[in-house]
Structure 1
Amino acid sequence: MSRLLPDLAPWRSSRDFRLLFFQGVVTFFASAMAMIALPLQIKELTDSPLAVGVMGAVELVPLVVFGLYGGALADALDRRRVILLTEAGLGVLAVVLLVNALLPDPLLWPLYVVAAGVSALAGLQRPALDSMMARIVPHEQQTAAAALNSLRYQIGAISGPALAGLVVAYAGYGAAYGVTAVGFVVSVGLCTRLSPAPPAGGTERPALRGIAEGARYAWSRPVLLGTYAVDLAAMFFAFPNTLFPFLADELDAVWALGLMYSAGAIGGLAIGLTSGWTSRVRRHGLLVIFGAGVWGVAIAAAGWFSQIGVVLVCLAVAGAGDMLSGLGRATIWNQTIPEELRGRLAGIEVLSYSVGPQLGQVRAGTVAGWTGTRSAFWSGGLMCVAAVAMLTAMLPKLVTYDADTDEDALRRREAKRAAQEPAPAEH
């Protein structure tokens, strides 16, 4: 059992990891309130599915643009300061939602403005948060840190929306936004206790040139390209969440719709709770490929079977596969990317795991309109497996990646050890 239980080494070795862990828990639950309340309020004000769908389009462009710029920002400024200021900005936007909800006649346009603002601030913040892990956690504990972070997310993904739904249903939108605002106040307080995280190359102005430099570095590293490409392929071909309501109708199981949305998180949670063995994995590229393959096969099976219990199990297995692939990706990123480029590459990673699901939902909806809901599931899953197999053949360095022998991993390990060694005393 000790080999299966989560590895708590990052928790014990890093005070900043513990602070960010608690900060993430608080932020997720605070954000869950707004994530549930915002689309529901738009639906109540407009009674239009299109008006609710527009929120996704409003969020996508700021996330892409500011995600890339946030990567350059994380490499040019103190990452602690970036996290603190963006977290405070998110708190201000929560107050705007609260004030609007308390009006006698709440307005619609502030909801879209806040949605775009939240997406922009999240894009600015995420690279700084992600790149902090490589700095505050020892090199050999990166997989364990990724597992603990994912475990925190999976627990929140299961319980957060459920709690938010109860608050909205019984206390209203104002209460939900109030909880969001209070949560961000607590989160900002935790962020103020983080250690300073100045840029590795000294303070400089973030610029488009810096973003291009990060893109060139990623392009020159087949292992990194493989992690991005596999994730994009898996999400584009096999992310059918938008079809869950239609699948529930076809299976005469509307009662199971909520379980469909949470099944993937339950599968990921199962991996997180038994993730101790992942700390001993060295071939993280194989973990990426295997996890993505499991995801594709499980999504295909979910569209093939007609028994709701089997479908839910398939979706849980898909979530477990996605969790394994995510652990492999995060470990490779944090073990190989130089500190001075970590923020910019984190900005590219934001695109990798945000654009894919958005485009995947468009693909799933289009195919379902042509051929039906269930065929959109199984055809997408099979295309995901085929795409992963093709990428495996095209990028052999991802397959052969070994944390103990890869040149970039060894170089990053030595650089981190050198940075942690005390300077020699002057006589």
Structure 2
Amino acid sequence: MAIGELVKRHLIDIRPLGVPTYRRLWSGQAIANIGIGVTVVAVSKQVWDLTQSSFWVGLLGLANLIPLLVFGLWGGAFADAVDRRRLLITSSLISWGATLFILAQALLGLGNVYLLLLASAVSATGFAMTSPARGAIIPRILPAELVPAANALNSLVFGFGAIVGPMIAGVLLAWQGYPLAYAVDAVLFTASLYAAIRLPELLPMGEIQRPGWRSVIDGLRYIATGPVLLMSFVVDIIAMVFALPRALIPQAVAERFDGSPIALGWLSAGMAIGAVLGALGSGWLGRVRRQGVALTVTIALWGLSVAAAGLAQQLWLMVVLMAVGGVADMVSSVWRQSILQLHAPDEMRGRMQGAFMVVVAGGPRLGDLRAGLTAVWFGMTWAWVGGGLACAIAVLVVGLSVPSFRNYRAG
């Protein structure tokens, strides 16, 4: 096979960037995600510094979870009933306001963990409304054959932000402290807001259902009646709740690397490094047909890589193993998102994306809480390693036990 053909088959497909509307949305998100990555690390570090407890760091996950559950489902219902452009702008302003609040508390030197939890909850509210709208917009501005490639490109920018953001956070925290870190996020977020403003009007198509609990329930019922869709959510919940070690990173850095901010940045970026590398070589993902088995095996590999990282004592080895997990996480995310976007009609896409966002964003918050609690009970190492092993075992048992999911073939 010629080198050019090999590259075309396996490297990331950039054709969606040829569509100006998508290119602006993608570029704005790429810039904003760097700032988000800075704030995620800085807030976790500030909570750890204030409390010296992984349990309190884990409570950040709970503070995010409740708004994500409530407003994620409602945001999906609104995305099916209103102009998606206007919804994206409004919810982005909520998230930006939360960032400015976090910046203000740092400038004033308040050092109050409850204010940080409150600000995180407000930010999660905006995110919960933004994500369903953004996910439902993609199939409206791109042809169907480019949707999987767009999802891989989205994974690339999320991963890029999660690498560069923590790295910048480590430098800024060591240099100037929290105010400058939060200020960087506040400035960079304006790129995403600008991209939302430049979107065309995106009024709902098909049958419009008034947003409310009835429309939310209809969306959940749509998922429940399809075992393949339902299982794609279940295996992701297993992955995030059982294995995600994010809340343990500040304690791991304190115990193994003398609390180094640079080590904090590298370890926080480990998964994202893998996600970016995986996205760059994602051209083959659309050719995998037995996606049920593939998802199950991929998530099991994620759990095993996390467990191995928890046993490693060298920073470079922990980062490498977390990067392996990041590749697995990116691959599973692209498959699940593409199935969801193309399976549902346009009038259901917002609600499907709302449910997807609740799982994708809510699962990690439950994982943070699980990690924090088990660290208190069993120590950081066992909380980290045990979670990864439990994930691998559980996903193989559950994923392979449902015939329709095990035998599912794309297309």
Give the TM-score, by structure 1 length: 0.83
Q: Does 1:292 align with 2:291?
A: no
Instruction: Confirm or deny: 8 A CA contact 2:375 2:382 kept in the other structure.
Output: yes
Instruction: Confirm or deny: 8 A CA contact 1:288 1:326 kept in the other structure.
Output: no
1:198 aligned residue (197, 203, 208): 203
Distance 1:155 1:300 in 2: 24
2:352 aligned residue (345, 351, 359): 345
Q: Which amino acid aligns with 1:240?
A: P
Instruction: Confirm or deny: 8 A CA contact 2:166 2:269 kept in the other structure.
Output: no
TM superposition shift of 1:164: 3.5
TM superposition shift of 1:39: 4.9
Give deviations 1:181-217, integer Å, cap 9, x for gaps: 3334333222121122211235553110000000100
Describe the shift of the 1:138–1:378 C-alpha distance in structure 2 as closer, same or farther (beyond 3 A).
same
Partner of 1:358 in structure 2?
A: 365
Distance 1:245 1:147 in 2: 29
Give deviations 1:201-257, integer Å, cap 9, x for gaps: 355531100000001000001111111010011112212233335555676786655
Q: Percent identity?
A: 36
Q: Which amino acid aligns with 2:383?
A: A
Instruction: Confirm or deny: 8 A CA contact 1:287 1:328 kept in the other structure.
Output: no
2:120 aligned residue (103, 115, 118): 115
Q: Does 1:7 align with 2:13?
A: yes
Partner of 1:35 in structure 2?
A: 40
TM superposition shift of 1:121: 1.2
Partner of 1:388 in structure 2?
A: 395
Distance 2:110 2:249 in 1: 30
Distance 1:111 1:252 in 2: 26
Question: Following superposition of structure 1 onto structure 2, how do residues 39-50 of structure 1 map, counting pairs within 5 Å?
Answer: 39=44, 46=50, 49=53
Partner of 1:142 in structure 2?
A: 147
Describe the shift of the 1:239–1:101 C-alpha distance in structure 2 as closer, same or farther (beyond 3 A).
closer
More displaced stretch, 54-63 vs 149-158: 54-63
TM superposition shift of 1:107: 7.5
Partner of 2:337 in structure 1?
A: 330
Describe the shift of the 1:309–1:5 C-alpha distance in structure 2 as closer, same or farther (beyond 3 A).
same
Higher relative contact order, structure no. (Cα contacts within 8 Å, ≥ 6 residues apart): 2
Describe the shift of the 1:149–1:114 C-alpha distance in structure 2 as closer, same or farther (beyond 3 A).
same
TM superposition shift of 1:359: 2.5
Partner of 1:229 in structure 2?
A: 234
Give deviations 1:387-418, integer Å, cap 9, x for gaps: 222222332222332333xxxxxxxxxxxxxx
Q: Does 1:208 align with 2:213?
A: yes
Indicate the RMSD between aligned Cα atoms, in angstroms: 2.9
Describe the shift of the 1:72–1:315 C-alpha distance in structure 2 as closer, same or farther (beyond 3 A).
same
Name the SS of the counterpart of 1:206 in structure 2. Answer: coil
Question: Following superposition of structure 1 onto structure 2, how do residues 369-388 of structure 1 map, counting pairs within 5 Å?
Answer: 369-388=376-395
Distance 2:67 2:362 in 1: 12
Q: Which amino acid aligns with 1:92?
A: G
Partner of 1:412 in structure 2?
A: none
Question: Following superposition of structure 1 onto structure 2, how do residues 119-138 of structure 1 map, counting pairs within 5 Å?
Answer: 119-138=124-143
Instruction: Confirm or deny: 8 A CA contact 1:29 1:160 kept in the other structure.
Output: yes
Describe the shift of the 1:184–1:323 C-alpha distance in structure 2 as closer, same or farther (beyond 3 A).
closer
Distance 1:371 1:117 in 2: 32
Question: Following superposition of structure 1 onto structure 2, how do residues 146-185 of structure 1 map, counting pairs within 5 Å?
Answer: 146-171=151-176, 173-185=178-190
Describe the shift of the 1:235–1:3 C-alpha distance in structure 2 as closer, same or farther (beyond 3 A).
same
Q: Which amino acid aligns with 2:366?
A: L
More displaced stretch, 153-162 vs 249-258: 249-258
- The count of aligned residue pairs is 401
TM superposition shift of 1:306: 5.4
Distance 1:247 1:132 in 2: 39
Describe the shift of the 1:106–1:291 C-alpha distance in structure 2 as closer, same or farther (beyond 3 A).
same
Instruction: Confirm or deny: 8 A CA contact 1:34 1:180 kept in the other structure.
Output: yes
Distance 1:185 1:378 in 2: 39
Distance 2:210 2:311 in 1: 53
Distance 1:39 1:303 in 2: 19
Describe the shift of the 1:375–1:33 C-alpha distance in structure 2 as closer, same or farther (beyond 3 A).
closer
2:246 aligned residue (210, 230, 241): 241
Instruction: Confirm or deny: 8 A CA contact 2:247 2:372 kept in the other structure.
Output: yes
More displaced stretch, 120-129 vs 241-250: 241-250
Query: What stretches of structure 1 of length at least 5 have no aligned partner?
Result: 405-427
Partner of 1:265 in structure 2?
A: 272
Give deviations 1:105-136, integer Å, cap 9, x for gaps: 64846544432221111111111111212322
Name the SS of the counterpart of 1:275 in structure 2. Answer: coil
Distance 2:304 2:165 in 1: 28
Query: What stretches of structure 2 of length at least 5 have no aligned partner?
Result: 1-6
Describe the shift of the 1:98–1:215 C-alpha distance in structure 2 as closer, same or farther (beyond 3 A).
same
Q: Which amino acid aligns with 2:73?
A: L
Instruction: Confirm or deny: 8 A CA contact 1:287 1:324 kept in the other structure.
Output: no
Describe the shift of the 1:34–1:257 C-alpha distance in structure 2 as closer, same or farther (beyond 3 A).
closer
Distance 2:161 2:264 in 1: 18
Give deviations 1:46-105, integer Å, cap 9, x for gaps: 5664766544433221121111111111111111110011112333344444455555x6
Describe the shift of the 1:157–1:11 C-alpha distance in structure 2 as closer, same or farther (beyond 3 A).
same
Give the TM-score, by structure 2 length: 0.86
- Rg bigger for which structure? 1
Name the SS of the counterpart of 1:199 in structure 2. Answer: coil
More displaced stretch, 171-180 vs 27-36: 171-180
